[in-house]
Amino acid sequence: MIERGEQFQEWLDDDRRDLESIRADSDVRFQTLIDEGRADRKAANDKFESLQSEIRQNQRLLLSGQERLDTVLTEVLSLSRRVQAVEDAA
């Protein structure tokens, strides 16, 4: 009976060591997943900020282009009126 109790104790000790090993391994795996998740989030945030910056630059270029277009259209309209005035005078 004592031998059987000692055998059970050995099995329990083996199981305890196995569980501790599994727990330690799981902790490492979880930490790795957490670190990878943080790195992925940082990379995504960096990419998002880069895209936002590019969008702002493109918006500035579009606005500048619109302003230039307005200026050119105003000049064309003015020239058209002058041509019409010259034609009317002729």
pLDDT higher than 90, residue 2: no
CA distance 21 to 26: 8
CA distance 81 to 78: 5
pTM here is: 0.60
Q: What is the DSSP letter of 90?
A: -
Residues of the chain with pLDDT > 90, as a percent, come to 89
Residue 10 in 3-state DSSP?
helix
Question: Please, what's the b/e burial string for 15-36 (b: 16 or more CB within 10 A of its CB; e: otherwise)?
Answer: eeeeeeeeeeeeeeeeeeeeee
pLDDT higher than 90, residue 4: no
Query: What's the whole-number mean pLDDT along residues 33-56?
Result: 98
pLDDT (0 to 100) of residue 1: 82
